[in-house]
Homo-oligomer: A and B are copies of this chain.
Amino acid sequence: LQNRKPDRPTILHVAHVAHVSKSTAARALSGATNIRPETRARVLAAAKSVGYEANQLAKSLRSGRTGMFGLVIPDIANPFWAEVARGAQDRAAQNDASLLIFSSDWKAAREASHLRALRKARVDGAIVNPVEDSIDALGRFGTPVVLIGSSAERFPELPSVGSDIAQGVRLGLNHLLSLGHTDPAILAAPIGRLARARFMRVVHDFFVERGRDPAGLLVEDGEYTVDSGKAAMRRLLARTTRRPLCVFAANDLMALGAMLAVREAGLLCPQDVSILGFDGIPAGVFSHPSLSTIAKPARQIGDRAMGLLLERVRGHASPNHMVLPCEMVARASLSDLSGGRRGQLTATG
């Protein structure tokens, strides 16, 4: 065992100093009741004097529980996911648990590799935003898993925490309507992503409910990134001469990219093009103009997912699916076409 760490004191050292057996020391340390108070005091004193810290590895090997959890998200450097991570991490820390964080970059291969690492590390459970095609690997994960994000729907039997996309989209659409924007173009999520289908379905329904033809919808596809939002906006601008134009983007990064494209085209936001985002990332405050958006409760999602996971691990029953509401954050990227008579246009259809 040449590679070992400098030896830290074990329970055996403590026992020796306290003149008791290993197990008595263990009992004292674990707070068992069947022990003479003075013995316990002696052990505790001994432990303190040698600077004893229990070896979590040994405890884990015996108990099968590590007190560690995994978090697999697309990208920790993405502000939305960083917020989620922060929420999960804080909740974990409150419960003396630690969090292993991995970024999958939306790649199934990386996700699978991270999931393997988590299994290897013997985490007590994991929170995962699954890449679509690898989702079934989660069923065999072995330890409790809580899903976050829109792909959760594919695995109804697994617990999940997410934001209420449908409610959020409706919130945005209603807001747009109240400002007089009746025909928003859509900068959509990547084709194939479940979130896209859900988003579009709500938009579709919304149109139909109001007796409008969804076929007239302008849709451009993107990739959840600034660059792709910019490119999508360029294509959109080339496709339609409608001004003022209104655009509803699938996420804030795309919306911000779109804003760049608008400026690049010599147009003004919101005068020529109104832009509504989705996510609520901090950068939206600083854009020019500041970005109106539907804010997902990112930190809360992480917090609740961790909470659910902890309950699962502890064997408590818990709700299987949690859906947290989105909020409208009205800033400056939307023009008001309603002539000031803003209000509940929803009732009139």
Residues of B within 8 A of A143 (CB): 5
Residues of B within 8 A of A287 (CB): 286-288
The residue in chain B whose Cβ has the minimal distance to the Cβ of A256 is B286
Question: Contact between A99 and B100 (Cβ–Cβ < 8 Å)?
Answer: yes
Going nearest first, the 3 A-B pairs with the smallest beta carbon separation are A288-B288, A283-B283, A286-B287
- Residues of A within 8 Å of B, CB-based: how many? 63
Q: Could you tell me the distance between the alpha carbons of A185 and B99 in the complex, rounded to whole angstroms?
A: 42
Question: Contact between A119 and B283 (Cβ–Cβ < 8 Å)?
Answer: no
The residue in chain B whose Cβ has the minimal distance to the Cβ of A7 is B64
Q: Interface digits, A31-75 against B, CB 8 Å rule (1 contact, 0 not)? A: 000000000000000000000011111101111111110000001
Question: Contact between A68 and B102 (Cβ–Cβ < 8 Å)?
Answer: no
Is A83 engaged at the interface, CB distance under 8 Å to the other chain?
yes
Is A117 engaged at the interface, CB distance under 8 Å to the other chain?
yes
When the two chains form the complex, which single residue of B54, B86, B259 contacts A77, counting CB atoms closer than 8 Å? Answer: B86
Q: Could you tell me the distance between the alpha carbons of A120 and B118 in the complex, rounded to whole angstroms?
A: 18
Residues of B within 8 A of A54 (CB): 120
What is A's interface to B at a CB cutoff of 8 Å? 1, 3-6, 8, 53-58, 60-68, 75-79, 82-83, 85-86, 89-90, 93, 96, 98-103, 113-114, 117-122, 142-143, 226, 256, 259-260, 282-289, 299
Q: Could you tell me the distance between the alpha carbons of A170 and B91 in the complex, rounded to whole angstroms?
A: 42
Question: Contact between B61 and A58 (Cβ–Cβ < 8 Å)?
Answer: yes
CB distance from A137 to the nearest CB of B (A): 14
Q: Could you tell me the distance between the alpha carbons of A234 and B169 in the complex, rounded to whole angstroms?
A: 37
Question: Contact between A56 and B122 (Cβ–Cβ < 8 Å)?
Answer: yes
Q: Could you tell me the distance between the alpha carbons of A113 and B113 in the complex, rounded to whole angstroms?
A: 30
When the two chains form the complex, which single residue of B55, B63, B282 contacts A283, counting CB atoms closer than 8 Å? Answer: B282
Q: Could you tell me the distance between the alpha carbons of A121 and B103 in the complex, rounded to whole angstroms?
A: 21
Residues of B within 8 A of A83 (CB): 77
The residue in chain B whose Cβ has the minimal distance to the Cβ of A85 is B76
The residue in chain B whose Cβ has the minimal distance to the Cβ of A68 is B121
Report if A103-B76 is in contact (Cβ < 8 Å); known contacts: A61-B61, A287-B287. Answer: no
Q: Which of A1, A113, A287 has the most CB atoms of chain B within a 10 A radius of its CB? A: A287
Question: Contact between A90 and B103 (Cβ–Cβ < 8 Å)?
Answer: yes
Q: Could you tell me the distance between the alpha carbons of A143 and B283 in the complex, rounded to whole angstroms?
A: 38
Q: Could you tell me the distance between the alpha carbons of A347 and B98 in the complex, rounded to whole angstroms?
A: 53
Question: Contact between B77 and A96 (Cβ–Cβ < 8 Å)?
Answer: no
Q: Could you tell me the distance between the alpha carbons of A118 and B1 in the complex, rounded to whole angstroms?
A: 23
Residue pairs across A and B with Cβ atoms less than 8 A apart, 21 shown, are A1-B62, A4-B63, A4-B64, A6-B142, A8-B142, A53-B119, A57-B66, A68-B121, A76-B76, A76-B86, A77-B83, A79-B79, A89-B102, A90-B103, A98-B100, A98-B102, A256-B285, A256-B286, A282-B283, A287-B287, A288-B289
